[in-house]
């Protein structure tokens, strides 16, 4: 199956605060809303209480193979999530539809990142032992 990934990745100019969010849609759902979809969202409060910035939404097509090795980053909010719902037919898609799709996409991921501490004298041995399991 093919999905469309909608992505917002923004760093505020003054505060340096960042915001990251992504939403996945099946390509057939995307085709229903694509013509009306506005490729930007407004983010509030990153540079102070009354700040607002218009941020472009990146739109990418991804497949199951890509998602099987994809590591999902930490999401900072639900601005994009809520924004996408505004374009979906409420008679056709209930309030849990998008969350179910996000869970479906996450279940396709077959990799995890791991951070370990080790004695630096053992680095070469550890890398050699793990070489066949490392995904680049």
Among 55-64, 104-113, 122-131, the range of highest mean pLDDT: 55-64
Max alpha carbon distance in the chain (Å)? 62
131's tokens? 């070489």
Closest CA to 12 of 38, 44, 37: 44
**Residue 55 is part of which domain span?**
2-133
**CA distances (Å), origin 57, targets 20, 43, 45, 83, 133:** 11, 12, 18, 11, 34
As a whole number of angstroms, the distance between CA 7 and CA 131 comes to 32
Q: Structurally, how many domains does the chain consist of?
A: 1
Q: pTM for the whole thing?
A: 0.79
Q: Tell me: the pLDDT tens digits for 25-58?
A: 999 999 999 999 999 988 888 888 888 888 999 9
86's tokens? 């505004």
As a whole number of angstroms, the distance between CA 84 and CA 37 comes to 8
């Amino acid at each position: 199956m093919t999905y469309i990934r909608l992505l917002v990745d923004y760093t505020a100019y003054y505060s340096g605060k960042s915001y990251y969010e992504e939403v996945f849609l099946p390509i057939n759902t995307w085709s229903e809303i694509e013509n009306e979809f506005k490729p930007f969202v407004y983010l509030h409060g990153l540079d102070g209480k009354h700040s607002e910035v218009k941020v472009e939404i990146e739109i990418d097509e991804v497949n199951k193979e890509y998602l099987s090795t994809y590591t999902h980053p930490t999401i900072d909010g639900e601005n994009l999530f809520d924004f996408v719902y505004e374009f979906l037919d409420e008679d056709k898609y209930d309030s849990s539809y998008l969350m179910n799709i996000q869970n479906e996409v996450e279940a396709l991921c077959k990799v995890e990142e791991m951070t370990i501490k080790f004695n630096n004298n053992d680095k070469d041995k550890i890398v050699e032992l793990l070489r066949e399991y490392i995904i680049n």
